[in-house]
Chains A and B, each alone.
Chain A
Amino acid sequence: MLGKYDLSTIWQFMLDRVDEITELTLEHIGVVLLSLAFASIIGVGIGLLVWNKPVSRSFAVASTGVILTIPSMALLAMMIPVFGLGWVPTVIALSLYSLLPIVRNTVVGLREVSPAVMESATGMGMSKFRVLMQVQFPIAWPVILTGLRVATQLAVGIAAIAAYVAGPGLGEYIFKGLSMLGAIHALNFALVGTLLIVIIALTFDAIFILISRYTTSKGIRA
């Protein structure tokens, strides 16, 4: 019963399990970073390929959007027969969910570059590839980075559900807590899992602010 819950027990609870909690936290961070790495390469790659092709562009944004509407529990469950349990289905699912913000922001960012800037770049004798990589991409970078940031927040949250397929991370504590509701420590498990996920999310956000500061040209910083 909630009425009986004593918040002070949480410290002792955490101290008793400090090794396990550290491991789960690192796993959680690891699975997010790994998924994000895949999603960035694929998502930014798709964005670079389709930004100027209306049909492929709509298809890419729409289909990554559809993925995001699949309930995470369902997507994970669907992966079990193919990929089994653990890290593999988790990383695949998280990568898929992260695609939409990354693809969309890459496309939007590249398309927002002023036509005059593109024309003068072309007029000076830059090849299409050079214009894309040396002019468009750096100008679009803050927008693309925002996409990565949103994708990271999304992945940190959804990673908790990966415990459902025996995936890595703090979701394990939340599920454990929920399954033993009423028992001693049930709430401690759920609370510790949730709080640490929030802290991870906030830390990632802070890191992104720093990255954005140091990788965006002064000339286009707001």
Chain B
Amino acid sequence: MPNSNTTSGASIELLNVTKQYPNQDQAAVENFSMKINPGELIMLVGPSGCGKTTTMKMINRIIEPTSGSITIDGEDVLSLDQNTLRRRIGYVIQQIGLFPHMTIAENVSVVPKLLGWSKEKTAARVEELLSVVELDPKTFLNRYPKQLSGGQQQRVGVARALAADPPVMLMDEPFGATDPITREKLQAEFLRLQESIGKTIVFVTHDFDEAIKLGDRIAVLGPKSKIEQFDTPAKILANPASTYVSSFIGEGAALKRLALLLVGNTKMGAASKAHAKAGTVKVSDNLREALDRIVLAGGNTIGVQDASGAAVGSLSIEQISEALGADVSALGK
């Protein structure tokens, strides 16, 4: 599993960044400014063509900004050598782009080799990373990309981006091309991974539900990468800044918010055997799951258990509504 000497995230600041392509009337990205704290996972969400990918790709200069400044930990990105810069930034794209003629081990070793790591150090790192992304090194080291499923390839893509332990990761719809079941699994794994490595991540997606699930903060972007709202998932769901943002959230904002709240953090009623009979949830479940259980229990109050299965309280539909209301008023302050 991830070791303790992992490099944690760096801060990123974009200031008045503009990308204007020649022969186009409108800028692709206009005056984009954003401050990202070390270790934050920032989601850029918006419809296709809004400039979110362009914005992200200016950070590692796959696309050169026309004007503005970008700094990582205070260091001006535009004054650095492009290749030196990119070796310090993990990069994962939707099509993954594994090198088909190289084995999995060789694919993951690319950046360490560019940085001149010793063979032993590189080999040890590759094995470690494959374990981190839950691929058995013995089985996969010498396979070729075409012998892997889409989900496995995407795991290798993440491992390859993490190879040289970069403080910053850029991810462009990394799970977009996988089936829903694989995607959920990859998302859950990715969240767990990020908890232990604490990289600063800029993550582009057009899927708002993915943004809620993964992001520390979400930037909802309009045309020309204009920031419509930049806040935590809970606050965006509770107080969308405009009708544009609301339309992006879509139906069921309350249900989406419930998914962000844990049973354990909710005011509960007293435990009783009768409630437990109707149905039970764990303290680690979210309120959306609790509501699901209540609906199945005919609207009756259900019991709450701790991790060991002992009854610790009960939860009614009123308490769930209250949790949403309380959450809103707490956020208002």
Chain B contacts for A138, CB-based, 8 A: 101
Chain B residues closer than 8 Å to A125, beta-carbon distance = 82-87, 111, 114
Q: A124-B110, A219-B101, A220-B101 are in contact. Are A119 and B93 (CB under 8 A)?
A: yes
Cα separation A124 to B157 with both chains bound (whole Å): 11
Residues 65-107 of chain B, each 1 if its beta carbon lies under 8 Å from chain A, else 0? 0000000000000000011111101010101111111110000
User: Which residues of B129-170 have CB atoms within 8 Å of chain A's CB atoms?
Assistant: 144-146, 157, 160, 170
**Interface footprint category on B:** 20 to 34
Residue A12 is within 8 A (CB to CB) of chain B in the complex: no
Complex-state Cα separation, A122 to B60, whole angstroms: 10
On whether A217 and B91 interact (CB within 8 A), knowing A122-B86, A125-B83, A125-B86, the answer reads no
CB neighbours of B82 from chain A (8 A): 125
Per the bound structure, the CA–CA distance linking A79 and B100 in Å amounts to 46
Interface flag for A63 (CB, 8 Å): no
From DSSP, what is the main secondary structure of chain B's interface residues?
mixed
A158 within 8 A of B: no
A84 vs B177: C-alpha distance when bound (angstroms): 63
Instruction: Report if A123-B86 is in contact (Cβ < 8 Å); known contacts: A114-B95, A116-B95, A219-B144.
Output: yes
Shortest CB-to-CB span from B57 to chain A, Å, is: 8
Q: Does A121 contact B (CB under 8 A)?
A: yes
Which residues of the other chain, A, contact B85 by a CB distance below 8 angstroms?
125
Chain B nearest CB: distance from A146 CB in Å? 16
Contacts A116-B93, A124-B114 given; does A219 touch B86 at CB 8 Å = no
Q: Which residues of A contact B98 (CB under 8 A)?
A: 117, 120
Quick check: A121 and B99 within 8 Å, CB to CB? yes
Residues of A within 8 A of B145 (CB): 219
* Across-interface contacts of A139 in B (CB, < 8 A): 99-101
Q: Which of B95, B101, B110 contacts A217 (CB 8 A)?
A: B101
Pair count A-B, CB < 8 A: 71
Chain A interface size band reads 20 to 34
Give CA–CA (A117, B107) in the complex, Å. Answer: 11
In the assembly, what is the distance between CA of A114 and CA of B87, in Å?
Answer: 21
**Contact (Cβ within 8 A) A124 B86:** yes
User: Given A120-B97, A121-B97, A125-B111, A217 and B102 touching (CB < 8 A)?
Assistant: yes
What's the Cα separation between A123 and B164 when bound, in Å? Answer: 13
Chain A nearest CB from B239 CB (Å) reads 36
Q: Does A186 contact B (CB under 8 A)?
A: no
Contact, CB under 8 Å: B96 / A116:
yes
In the bound complex, residues from chain A placing their C-beta under 8 Å from that of B114 are 124-126
A156 to B308: give the CA distance in the assembly, Å.
80
Q: Are B91 and A126 in contact, CB atoms less than 8 angstroms apart? A: no
A140 to B146 alpha-carbon distance, docked (Å): 16
Report if A117-B97 is in contact (Cβ < 8 Å); known contacts: A122-B86, A124-B114. Answer: yes
Contact A119 B83 (CB under 8 A): no
Whether A116 touches B101, Cβ cut-off 8 Å, given contacts A122-B62, A124-B87, A125-B114, is: no
Interface pair A123/B62, CB less than 8 Å apart = yes
Q: Which residues on the A side are within 8 Å of B146 (C-beta)?
A: 219-220
Q: Determine the chain A residues whose CB is within 8 A of the CB of B102 once the complex forms.
A: 217, 219
Q: Check A119–B101 contact: CB distance below 8 A.
A: no
- Compute how far the CA of A135 lies from the CA of B113 in the bound complex, rounded to whole angstroms: 14
Residue of B whose beta carbon sits closest to that of A120 = B97
Minimal beta-carbon separation of A36 from chain B (angstroms): 24
Which residue in chain A gives the minimum CB-CB distance to B57?
A123
**A117→B94 CA distance, assembly (Å):** 11
Interface: A203 (CB within 8 A):
no
Distance in angstroms between the alpha carbons of A114 and B97 in the assembled complex: 8
Task: Write out the residue numbers on chain B whose beta carbons fall within 8 Å of the beta carbon of A17.
Answer: none
- Complex interface residues of chain A between 68 and 118 (CB less than 8 A to chain B): 114, 116-118
Interface mask (A117-147 → B, CB under 8 Å = 1, otherwise 0): 1111111111100000001001100000000
User: In the bound complex, what is the Cα–Cα distance between A217 and B103 (angstroms)?
Assistant: 9
Closest to B97 in A: A120
Point out the residues of chain A lying under 8 angstroms from B100, CB to CB.
117, 139, 217, 219-220
- Minimal beta-carbon separation of A25 from chain B (angstroms): 37
Q: Would you list 11 pairs from A and B whose C-beta atoms are within 8 A, ordered by A residue?
A: A120-B91, A121-B99, A123-B89, A123-B170, A124-B91, A124-B110, A125-B84, A135-B99, A217-B102, A219-B144, A219-B145
Given A219-B103, A219-B146, 10 more contacts at CB 8 Å?
A: A114-B95, A119-B93, A120-B157, A123-B60, A124-B87, A126-B114, A127-B83, A217-B101, A217-B102, A219-B145
Which residues of chain A have a CB within 8 Å of any CB of chain B? Answer: 114, 116-127, 135, 138-139, 217-220
**Residues of chain B whose beta carbon lies under 8 Å from any beta carbon of chain A:** 60, 62, 82-87, 89, 91, 93, 95-103, 110-111, 114, 144-146, 157, 160, 170
Nearest 5 A-B pairs (CB), nearest first? A120-B97, A219-B144, A116-B95, A125-B86, A125-B87
